[in-house]
A and B are shown apart, each in its own frame.
Chain A
Amino acid sequence: MKTWEKIKENPSLLEKYLIREKVINSVRSFFSDRLFHEVQTPILVPTPSCEANLEVFQTELKTFSGLKRKAFLIMSPEYSIKKLLSAGIGNCFEITRCFRNDEEISSSHNPEFTMLEWYRINASYLEIMEDFERLFVKIVKDLNPKTDLAKWVYQNRTYDISLPWIRITVSEAFEKFAGVDTEKLLSSKKLIKIAKERGYQVGKRTTWEEIFYQILFNEVEPSLKSTNKPYFLYDYPASQASLSKRKASDPRFAERFEVFLAGIELGNCFSELTDAKEQKARFIKDLKVRREMGKSKIAIDNELIKALSRGMPEVAGIAVGVDRLIMLTGDFPNISDTLFFPAKEIFDLPDT
């Protein structure tokens, strides 16, 4: 039975699906209270983000008179918003649909999803951490004003989400919970040797990045999770910088954080890279990896490079999966429980 039929049969189900509406209202009021502009940028674009490991939905734009253009569905509204930041829009946010292809549909993934991004000018990732924890607490309180933040429950497990949340750097976390110091963490040779000793599968083609994430998820994360508090994991090794800028005080690391609650990644934040040249170099590298991996061909967004070179203010921004926010604040086990039309259901895909 499809979700709409279940609701027809049991109208009381509707209430839980309407939590989405409440969460989105709460997000909008959070940002309008702070005088952020809400923007709408295109979902259909000629040049999508070019992250090496993500696959994009591709289509074609045709005009009646026969003109044709390659077109893609966005994986994030980031590139368009950055052009607006360069234009001088100031603090802003967007709630939009994003798409990722070629992924497994799981409890925390739907190929079409709702993304919230916000950007704060003349700010760094540290201010975004504060925004995030306050936003989350506001949503929880808006849904149920009586919630005791020290005893917030998700899926029968109690968490302490009172402020402030834990802030820990990647290198502190590796040292403390996995016994890997910074020197070993940043050395490909040493980290892979440690992985071998600890029984991880290591082959000729195993990369530093794969081992980094395996140790992160198998050794570091379980300890952080057992604190029953949400946490910001920040200062990623520079190779994982993506669109963030390097730390001025220690360029081996980048000003980036991810925020986790109940083992679920809720957001990814950067102090945004404003250097057009370095950004172009990273894009070229990403596109090279994409080619090697056989991902669909995309071009560099030269308009974005131009916007950066024309001067984008110092800015920090974050991408947050709204469906996951709803899943957590609404106490749902799966993302599909927050959607009227989960992809698995409408495309008739089996459970994985």
Chain B
Amino acid sequence: MSTINAGNITKGSFIIYKGTPHYVIKTDFMSPGKGSPIMRIKMKSAVTGAASEFTYKSNEQVEVADVTKKDMLFLYSDGSEVVFMDPRTYDQASVPAALVENKIGYLIPNQKCIVLWHDEAAIGVEIPPNVVLTVTEAHEAIAGNRVNAPKKPVKLETGIEIQAPIFIKTGDKISVDTSTGTYLSRVNQ
């Protein structure tokens, strides 16, 4: 069991809160009323996906969840759970959809992801920094201000919409940054 100072907890890490692993979604370090510093943590249970908030003393010791990583393939999401498969053993694992947040729109079947494990349970997933997705809808660019806004919205095979350069057409494959949701490049076939 390892611990860290509450003041050093970072967004995206896993801590043990009330005995179960939680995924940290937001941290706020503050000195309330000019008093001694505290660390407010917003998190989601890695087991149920339920959101919690707790305020620690910034110098308090908080248990960190020991996490191991395994490469797995995305299979599908049923809205409440996201299901992955180990390509070597065909074992399946599911993670609460609440933990994958708004990243589901970057996943297509067989997309390789890193699934995070704690005590033999899947508790989270790391999506690759960029993924390649097919454009399913791209309207002709409207003539107009091309100097300042040389972009247009395009729809991708997973249903999400992003801003892409005006030369992108339906059927193109494009690389997308999964942390910012921005267009990176057109991928040559």
Which residue in chain B gives the minimum CB-CB distance to A109? Answer: B30
For B28, list chain A residues within 8 Å (CB): 104, 106-109
Q: How many whole Å from A10's CB to the nearest CB in chain B?
A: 6
Structural contact, B32 and A216, CB atoms closer than 8 A: yes
**Given known contacts A216-B32, A218-B55, A268-B33, is B27 in contact with A106 (CB within 8 Å)?**
yes
CA distance A214 to B57 in the complex (A): 7
- Segment of B34-42, B67-75, B103-111, B121-129 in the binding face: B34-42
Q: How many whole Å from B129's CB to the nearest CB in chain A?
A: 14
CA distance A212 to B169 in the complex (A): 60
Q: Does A54 contact B (CB under 8 A)?
A: yes
Q: Does B53 contact A (CB under 8 A)?
A: yes
For A207, list chain B residues within 8 Å (CB): 36
Secondary structure type dominating chain A contacts: mixed
Structural contact, A242 and B32, CB atoms closer than 8 A: no
Which residue in chain A gives the minimum CB-CB distance to B149? Answer: A10
Q: How many whole Å from A235's CB to the nearest CB in chain B?
A: 13
Structural contact, A213 and B38, CB atoms closer than 8 A: yes
Q: Does A222 contact B (CB under 8 A)?
A: yes
CA distance A234 to B8 in the complex (A): 31
Q: How many whole Å from B84's CB to the nearest CB in chain A?
A: 26
For A9, list chain B residues within 8 Å (CB): 148-149, 151
Q: How many whole Å from A326's CB to the nearest CB in chain B?
A: 18
**Given known contacts A8-B148, A213-B55, A214-B55, is B27 in contact with A352 (CB within 8 Å)?**
yes
Q: Does A60 contact B (CB under 8 A)?
A: no
Kindly identify, within residues 38 to 61 of chain B, every residue whose CB is under 8 Å from any CB belonging to chain A. 38, 40, 53-57, 60-61
For A103, list chain B residues within 8 Å (CB): 29-31
Structural contact, A53 and B38, CB atoms closer than 8 A: no
Q: Does A351 contact B (CB under 8 A)?
A: yes
**Interface magnitude class on chain B:** 20 to 34
Interface residues of A (CB under 8 A from B): 8-11, 51-54, 103-104, 106-109, 201, 206-207, 209-210, 212-214, 216-218, 222, 236, 240, 242, 258, 265, 268, 351-352
Which residue in chain B gives the minimum CB-CB distance to A233? Answer: B33
For A206, list chain B residues within 8 Å (CB): 57
Structural contact, B36 and A209, CB atoms closer than 8 A: yes
Encoded as 1 (CB less than 8 Å from any A CB) or 0, chain B from 90 to 134 comes to 000000000000000000000000000000000000000000000
Structural contact, B36 and A214, CB atoms closer than 8 A: no
Partner of A352, one of B11, B30, B35, B53: B11
Q: Does B26 contact A (CB under 8 A)?
A: yes
Which residue in chain B gives the minimum CB-CB distance to A239? Answer: B35
Structural contact, A265 and B34, CB atoms closer than 8 A: no
For B32, list chain A residues within 8 Å (CB): 213, 216-217, 265
Residue from A104, A212, A236, A240 with most neighbouring chain B CB atoms (10 Å): A104
Q: How many whole Å from B119's CB to the nearest CB in chain A?
A: 22
CA distance A240 to B53 in the complex (A): 25
For A218, list chain B residues within 8 Å (CB): 54-55
Q: Does B10 contact A (CB under 8 A)?
A: yes
CA distance A89 to B7 in the complex (A): 43
For A214, list chain B residues within 8 Å (CB): 38, 55-57
Structural contact, A240 and B33, CB atoms closer than 8 A: yes
CA distance A11 to B60 in the complex (A): 46
Which residue in chain B gives the minimum CB-CB distance to A351? Answer: B11
CA distance A240 to B30 in the complex (A): 16
Which residue in chain B gives the minimum CB-CB distance to A216? Answer: B32
CA distance A258 to B31 in the complex (A): 13
CA distance A160 to B53 in the complex (A): 23
Sample of 11 further A-B pairs with CB below 8 A, known A213-B38, A217-B38: A9-B148, A51-B34, A104-B28, A106-B27, A107-B28, A201-B60, A212-B35, A216-B32, A218-B55, A236-B33, A258-B33
4 A-B pairs with least C-beta separation? A104-B29, A217-B55, A51-B34, A53-B31
**Given known contacts A108-B28, A201-B60, A217-B55, is B33 in contact with A242 (CB within 8 Å)?**
yes
Q: How many whole Å from B47's CB to the nearest CB in chain A?
A: 19
Which residue in chain B gives the minimum CB-CB distance to A217? Answer: B55
Q: How many whole Å from A268's CB to the nearest CB in chain B?
A: 6
CA distance A109 to B32 in the complex (A): 12
